């Protein structure tokens, strides 16, 4: 499925956007490792939807604006992005930090949102359940801990040149800026998750070593019209590790929610 | 040139086999490795050593700040400065922390330092640092905000010391309706400020600015790097239209003096190597959290695949000039050579390091204070006189 890449300026910030496919709009919000490439799951979703994949401000080829301090800033930014593209009844899908942004966005306004899919989202804390500390992991440990299947972990491409390494460092810097403390959550978010007024699917890998599945149960209990689907033998990145299964779940959910 | 004794106050009783189970003496090493009975003895021994430095004629004693580790037991260095304030009589007391970005309230440091400055009637030197990367793990402070918070906390403390209060402070990270310091610092307009660093052009540029002219203190780096950074300071000062004085340049280095070169090397070897390989040990992720360095500097570190965590020997650090070790004559010659080449005005010697026991520390201090320090003082005085004539 072909996709195009453009740069858009929203709220004074220039961001890189990949877009492909036809159908209802689907806005995908990436996680800590960014969105430098068009991945197989995007291609699969693009067969049914108009898939829009921005790189967050502060990540990859996008600018780092002065105003960016918190995930809440990005939630408002993406409300602006939705207006910028003139999107309506958009399917919002976010993973990890992107899931956190999506949840924050939906607590602010669901006016333009038709469905919400949260994939192992950060954003809340479950007392007594420790998350993994990715900032203490070496690159090798990070790969091991993000995946269930260690063959896939080993096959993950490492930065091939200085430019790619710089992107990795830039993404890591912004990940720290947004999630160092409180660690990958906003203590106030859980108070307002009840405001999410659209059908919500929560997807989690059963072997997520970064954000344990107990966080999925907590999210499900906090968001009114939500269901939780656990993908077996899967780590923190179901859209990468189990792309086919992930895509079917998203498609089935969106069709049911329509 | 002025002479100081620097202390890190390591947990010298550390079970050195800890590294078979843990990858660092910092942050994740369980504090069950710390025995308070032994720790209490170490604290008192180390304070005795710094008080002894006062009697031996040092110009100052220095303490610093590190958190959650066996490398240095002074998470709150103001406690040590307070203890030393009344027991020492002549020495300056320098706190070469605090790590300003970690602070939730920088006014606490403005207050604490002003109190020590008052109690000592102006024998106090203030140090401001960003702290090493590990502190950001220990204190949950965001390393991505480190530079910002450093500058804002610094500005607040300087204003608290120098402006008549009360005033309001409206920063991004810190906000106060009333800043009105009681006590004001004893020294006018404020205590001297030192900026310890392992080498950063951004830091040097900031410290050398005519508005500040802070003493830049190079810590534990190869002597070639020391020379480069000191020259950078002088060049930046010159660009600003003034000549940097020796008083603006300092060097902190471990030193061991014994009767002969051979004895010095033999006695120091296990202890300096424990310092390097056991106490300093930490993975790169702990030392350099994201944001601690600029992206450009971080890229350089990643490309260099530097030897952080690699085993080092006494010969490695002696060869690089990171450790001065030998007979009084050897140590005199080395320090004299470096001083005349590089031109620093403050020499901070770490005379206890790693597991160096009490007897050897005292012997080291005595030999340094009786057979190195006075000789260097006379040399400097003679040179200054020649220059004046």
Q: Which residues of chain A have pLDDT under 50?
A: none
B74-103 pLDDT, tens digit per residue, is: 999 999 999 999 999 999 999 998 999 999
Query: What's the number of domains chain A is made of?
Result: 1
Domain residues for the domain of A197 are: 3-257
Q: Which residues pair with A26 in a beta bridge?
A: A51, A91
Q: Read off the CATH number of the domain in which A201 is found.
A: 3.40.50.1820
Rounded Cα distance between A42 and B316, Å, is 53
- For B60, the 3-state DSSP assignment is strand
Q: Which whole-number Å values give the CA distances from A80 to A12, A73, A186, B182, B323, in the listed order?
A: 11, 11, 21, 48, 58
- For B288, the 3-state DSSP assignment is coil
When scoring A168, A175, A176, A179 by the number of chain B Cβ atoms within 10 A, the one with the most, hence best to mutate, is A176
Instruction: Check if B137 contacts A (Cβ < 8 Å).
Output: yes
Q: A169, B142: Cβ pair inside 8 Å?
A: no
**What's the pLDDT score for residue B238?**
98
pLDDT at B307 over 50: no
Residues 24-53 of B with CB under 8 A from A: 28
B219-237 pLDDT, tens digit per residue, is: 989 999 999 999 999 999 9
When scoring B136, B148, B291, B292 by the number of chain A Cβ atoms within 10 A, the one with the most, hence best to mutate, is B291
Instruction: Check if B173 contacts A (Cβ < 8 Å).
Output: no
Taking phi over 0 as left and psi of -120 to 50 as alpha, with beta for the rest, B288 belongs to beta
Instruction: Check if A258 contacts B (Cβ < 8 Å).
Output: no
Class of residue B11 by CB neighbours under 10 A (exposed 0-12, middle 13-18, buried 19+): buried
Residue with tokens 């080395």: B334
pLDDT confidence band for B302 (50 / 70 / 90): confident
Domain ranges of chain B: 2-388
Q: What is the CATH number of domain B2-388?
A: 3.20.20.30
Rounded Cα distance between B256 and B277, Å, is 18
What is the distance in angstroms between the Cα of A29 and the nearest Cα belonging to chain B? 22
Instruction: Check if A135 contacts B (Cβ < 8 Å).
Output: yes
Q: A162, B140: Cβ pair inside 8 Å?
A: no
Query: How many CB pairs (< 8 A) connect A and B?
Result: 54
Give contacts of A165 with chain B, Cβ < 8 Å: 299, 302-303
When scoring B135, B285, B309 by the number of chain A Cβ atoms within 10 A, the one with the most, hence best to mutate, is B285
- CA quadruple A141, A143, A147, A152: dihedral sign: negative
**What's the pLDDT score for residue B288?**
94
């Amino acid at each position: 499925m072909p996709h195009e890449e453009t740069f858009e300026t929203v709220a004074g910030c220039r961001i890189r956007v990949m877009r492909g496919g036809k159908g209802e709009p689907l806005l995908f919000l990436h996680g800590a490792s960014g969105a430098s490439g068009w991945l197989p799951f995007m291609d699969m979703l693009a067969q049914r939807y108009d898939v829009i994949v921005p790189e967050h401000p502060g990540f990859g080829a996008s600018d780092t604006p002065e105003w960016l301090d918190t995930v809440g800033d990005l939630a408002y930014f993406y409300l602006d992005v939705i207006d910028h593209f003139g999107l309506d009844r958009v399917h919002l899908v976010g993973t990890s930090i992107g899931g956190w942004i999506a949840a924050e966005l939906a607590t602010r306004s669901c006016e333009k949102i038709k469905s919400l899919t949260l994939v192992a989202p950060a954003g809340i804390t479950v007392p007594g359940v420790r998350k993994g500390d990715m900032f203490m992991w070496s690159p090798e440990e990070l790969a091991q801990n993000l995946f269930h299947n260690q063959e896939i972990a080993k096959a993950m491409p490492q930065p091939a040149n200085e430019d790619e390494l710089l992107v990795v460092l830039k993404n890591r810097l912004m990940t720290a800026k947004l999630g160092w403390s409180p660690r990958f959550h906003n203590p106030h978010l859980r108070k307002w998750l009840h405001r999410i007024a659209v059908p919500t699917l929560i997807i989690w890998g059963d072997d997520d070593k970064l954000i344990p599945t107990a966080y999925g149960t907590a999210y499900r209990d906090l968001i009114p019209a939500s269901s939780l689907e656990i993908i077996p033998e899967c780590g923190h990145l179901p859209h990468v590790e189990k792309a086919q299964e992930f895509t079917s779940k998203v498609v089935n959910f969106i069709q049911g929610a329509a | 040139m002025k002479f100081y004794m620097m202390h890190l106050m390591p947990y010298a009783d550390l079970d050195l086999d800890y590294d078979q189970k843990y990858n660092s003496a910092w942050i994740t090493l369980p504090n069950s490795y710390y025995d308070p009975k032994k720790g209490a003895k170490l604290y008192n021994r180390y304070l005795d050593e710094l008080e002894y430095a006062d009697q031996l004629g040092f110009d100052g004693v220095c303490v610093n700040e590190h958190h959650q580790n066996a490398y240095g037991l002074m998470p709150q260095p103001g406690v040590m400065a307070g203890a030393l304030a009344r027991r020492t009589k002549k020495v300056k007391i320098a706190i070469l922390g605090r790590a300003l970005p970690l602070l939730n309230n920088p006014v606490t440091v403005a207050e604490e330092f002003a109190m020590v400055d008052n109690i000592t009637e102006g024998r106090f030197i203030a140090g401001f640092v960003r702290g090493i990367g590990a502190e950001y793990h220990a204190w949950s402070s965001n390393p991505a905000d480190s530079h910002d918070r450093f500058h804002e906390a610094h500005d607040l403390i300087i204003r608290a010391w120098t402006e008549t209060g009360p005033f309001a402070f409206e920063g991004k990270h810190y906000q106060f309706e009333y800043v009105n310091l009681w006590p004001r610092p004893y020294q006018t307009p404020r205590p001297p400020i030192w900026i310890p660093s392992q080498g950063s052009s951004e830091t040097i540029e900031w410290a050398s600015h005519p508005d500040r002219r802070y003493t830049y203190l190079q810590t534990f780096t190869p002597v070639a790097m020391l020379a480069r950074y000191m020259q950078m300071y002088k060049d930046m000062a010159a660009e600003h239209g003034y000549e940097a004085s020796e008083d603006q340049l300092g060097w902190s280095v471990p030193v061991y003096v014994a009767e002969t070169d051979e004895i010095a090397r033999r006695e120091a070897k296990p202890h300096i190597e424990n310092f390097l390989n056991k106490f300093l040990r930490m993975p790169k992720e702990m030392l350099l959290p994201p944001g601690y360095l600029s992206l450009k500097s971080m890229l350089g570190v990643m490309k260099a695949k530097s030897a952080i965590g690699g085993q080092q020997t006494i010969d490695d650090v002696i060869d690089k000039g990171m450790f001065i070790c030998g007979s009084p004559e050897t140590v005199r010659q080395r320090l004299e050579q470096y001083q005349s080449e590089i031109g620093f005005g403050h020499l901070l010697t770490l005379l206890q390091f790693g597991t160096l026991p009490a007897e050897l520390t005292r012997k080291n201090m005595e030999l340094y204070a009786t057979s190195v320090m006075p000789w260097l003082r006379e040399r400097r005085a003679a040179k200054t006189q020649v220059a004046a004539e």
